[in-house]
Structure 1
Amino acid sequence: MKLKKLNSIFKNFRKKQLLLCIVITTEICLSAYIPFLIKDLVDTITHNNNINSLLNITYSLLLLTIINVFIGNFNHYIWHKLRLESVNFLRLKMFEATLKKPKYFFDSKSTGEILALIMDDTSIVAQNIIIGPPMLFSNVLNFIIIVCVLFTLSKKLTFLTLLILPVYMLGFHYFNKKIRKTSRSERENFGFVMKDAEEKLQGINTIKTFKINTFMTEIFEKKLKNHFKFLSKNLFYNSLGSSLNNLIISLLPILILIYGSILINENQLSLGTLIAFFTYISNIYEPLSNLSDYNLGLQSSLAIGDRIISFLDLDSSSKNANKKTINSFESLEFVDVSFAYKDKNYVLKDFNFKINKGDHIGIVGKSGCGKSTFLKLLLGMYYPTSGKILINDIDIREVDLNSFYSVLAIQEQLPFIFEGTLEENLTLGSNIPRSFIDKIIKDIQISDINNSLDKISLNTLSVGQKQRICMARALLRNPEILILDEPTSALDCKL
Structure 2
Amino acid sequence: MKKNVGIMPYLRHEKTKLIITLPLIIITVFLEVSIPLIIKDILETDDIQGSLLFSKLLLLISIALLIGVCSYFSKYLLASVSNKITKDIQTETLLNIYKGDYVKFEKYKKGEVINRILDDTKAISQMINEIFPLTLSSFLYTISSIIILFTMDTILAVISVSMLVLYLISFSYFNKRIIKIFRQRVKENDNLMDSTNDIISGVKDVKLWKIEKNILNFYEKVQLKYFNSVFSLVKIKNLSKEIYSLIKTFANILLIVIGFYFVTTGLLNFGILVVFILYLNSLYTPIIDLFDAVNDYNKCLENLKRIFEFKDQNDNLNSNTKSKTFSYINSIELKDVTFSFGENKILNNISLRIEKNMSYALVGKTGCGKSTLLNILLGIYKPTSGEVYVNDKLVNYNEYKDICNFSYSILQDSHLYNLSLEDNINIFNNIDNVKNIISYKLNKVFLNELYSRRSDLIGINGKNLSGGQNQRLLLTRIFNKSNDFVVLDEVTSALDGETEMKLLDSIFEYHNNSILLFCSHQTQVLEYVDNIIRIEGGTASIESNISNGNKRREKKYGKNV
TM-score over 0.5 for the pair:
yes
User: 1:181-220 to 2 correspondence within 5 Å?
Assistant: 181-220=180-219
Structure 2 residue corresponding to 1:491, chosen from 486, 491, 495: 495
Q: How far is the alpha carbon of 1:373 from its aligned partner? A: 2.0
Quick check: 1:190–1:227 contact (8 Å CA) kept in 2? yes
Q: How far is the alpha carbon of 1:399 from its aligned partner? A: 5.9
Q: In 1, distance between residues paired with 2:446 and 2:259?
A: 88
Tell me the equivalent position of 2:457: 455
Q: How far is the alpha carbon of 1:156 from its aligned partner? A: 3.3
The 1:154–1:78 alpha-carbon spacing in structure 2 relative to 1, beyond 3 Å, is farther
Q: How far is the alpha carbon of 1:90 from its aligned partner? A: 2.4
Unpaired runs of 5+ residues, structure 2, are 500-561
Q: In 1, distance between residues paired with 2:222 and 2:317?
A: 46
Q: How far is the alpha carbon of 1:305 from its aligned partner? A: 5.6
User: 1:97-108 to 2 correspondence within 5 Å?
Assistant: 97-108=96-107
Q: In 1, distance between residues paired with 2:313 and 2:218?
A: 42
Q: In 2, distance between residues paired with 1:158 and 1:138?
A: 21
Give the counterpart letter for 1:464 in structure 2.
Answer: G
Tell me the equivalent position of 1:88: 87
The 1:455–1:247 alpha-carbon spacing in structure 2 relative to 1, beyond 3 Å, is same
The 1:84–1:166 alpha-carbon spacing in structure 2 relative to 1, beyond 3 Å, is farther
Quick check: 1:348–1:370 contact (8 Å CA) kept in 2? no
Q: In 1, distance between residues paired with 2:401 and 2:20?
A: 40
Q: In 2, distance between residues paired with 1:84 and 1:288?
A: 28
User: 1:312-461 to 2 correspondence within 5 Å?
Assistant: 312-313=311-312, 316-317=315-316, 324-356=324-356, 358-397=357-396, 400=399, 404-428=403-427, 430=429, 432=431, 433-449=434-450, 451-457=453-459, 458-461=462-465
Q: In 2, distance between residues paired with 1:177 and 1:386?
A: 45
Tell me the equivalent position of 2:540: none
| Alignment of 1:245 onto 2:244 | yes
| Alignment of 1:165 onto 2:169 | no
Q: How far is the alpha carbon of 1:292 from its aligned partner? A: 2.8
Give the counterpart letter for 2:457 in structure 1.
Answer: K
Q: How far is the alpha carbon of 1:468 from its aligned partner? A: 0.7
Q: In 1, distance between residues paired with 2:295 and 2:392?
A: 55
The 1:388–1:131 alpha-carbon spacing in structure 2 relative to 1, beyond 3 Å, is farther
Tell me the equivalent position of 1:475: 479
Give the counterpart letter for 2:26 in structure 1.
Answer: T
Quick check: 2:322–2:405 contact (8 Å CA) kept in 1? no
Q: In 2, distance between residues paired with 1:281 and 1:416?
A: 61
Q: In 2, distance between residues paired with 1:294 and 1:399?
A: 43
The 1:16–1:430 alpha-carbon spacing in structure 2 relative to 1, beyond 3 Å, is farther
Q: How far is the alpha carbon of 1:138 from its aligned partner? A: 3.6
| Alignment of 1:146 onto 2:148 | no
Q: How far is the alpha carbon of 1:378 from its aligned partner? A: 0.9
The 1:273–1:429 alpha-carbon spacing in structure 2 relative to 1, beyond 3 Å, is farther
Q: How far is the alpha carbon of 1:473 from its aligned partner? A: 1.9
Tell me the equivalent position of 2:41: 40
Structure 1 range deviating more: 15-24 or 57-66: 15-24
Identity %: 25
Tell me the equivalent position of 1:261: 260
Give the counterpart letter for 1:331 in structure 2.
Answer: S
Q: TM-score, normalised by structure 1?
A: 0.88
Tell me the equivalent position of 2:26: 25
Give the counterpart letter for 1:334 in structure 2.
Answer: L
Q: How far is the alpha carbon of 1:55 from its aligned partner? A: 2.2
Unpaired runs of 5+ residues, structure 1, are none
Q: In 2, distance between residues paired with 1:187 and 1:309?
A: 16
Q: How far is the alpha carbon of 1:402 from its aligned partner? A: 7.1
Q: In 1, distance between residues paired with 2:153 and 2:339?
A: 79
The 1:374–1:396 alpha-carbon spacing in structure 2 relative to 1, beyond 3 Å, is farther
Q: In 1, distance between residues paired with 2:245 and 2:184?
A: 26
- The root-mean-square deviation of aligned C-alpha atoms, in Å, is 3.1
Quick check: 1:327–1:403 contact (8 Å CA) kept in 2? no
Give the counterpart letter for 1:329 in structure 2.
Answer: I
Quick check: 1:416–1:466 contact (8 Å CA) kept in 2? no
Q: In 1, distance between residues paired with 2:358 and 2:493?
A: 23
| Alignment of 1:12 onto 2:13 | yes
What is the DSSP-based 3-state SS (H/G/I as helix, E as strand, rest coil) of the residue aligned with 2:332? strand
Q: How far is the alpha carbon of 1:253 from its aligned partner? A: 3.4
Tell me the equivalent position of 1:77: 76
Tell me the equivalent position of 1:61: 60
Give the counterpart letter for 1:425 in structure 2.
Answer: N
Give the counterpart letter for 1:480 in structure 2.
Answer: D
Tell me the equivalent position of 1:270: 269
Quick check: 1:421–1:452 contact (8 Å CA) kept in 2? yes
Q: TM-score, normalised by structure 2?
A: 0.78
Tell me the equivalent position of 1:50: 49
Structure 1 range deviating more: 123-132 or 98-107: 123-132
Q: In 2, distance between residues paired with 1:254 and 1:21?
A: 37
Q: How far is the alpha carbon of 1:418 from its aligned partner? A: 0.5
Deviations 1:142-189 (A, max 9, x none): 221111222233333322211212112322342343233223323322
Q: In 1, distance between residues paired with 2:300 and 2:234?
A: 23
Q: In 2, distance between residues paired with 1:338 and 1:235?
A: 51
Quick check: 1:425–1:473 contact (8 Å CA) kept in 2? no
Q: In 2, distance between residues paired with 1:383 and 1:126?
A: 37
Q: In 1, distance between residues paired with 2:59 and 2:482?
A: 75
Quick check: 2:411–2:490 contact (8 Å CA) kept in 1? yes
Q: How far is the alpha carbon of 1:118 from its aligned partner? A: 2.7
The 1:109–1:303 alpha-carbon spacing in structure 2 relative to 1, beyond 3 Å, is same
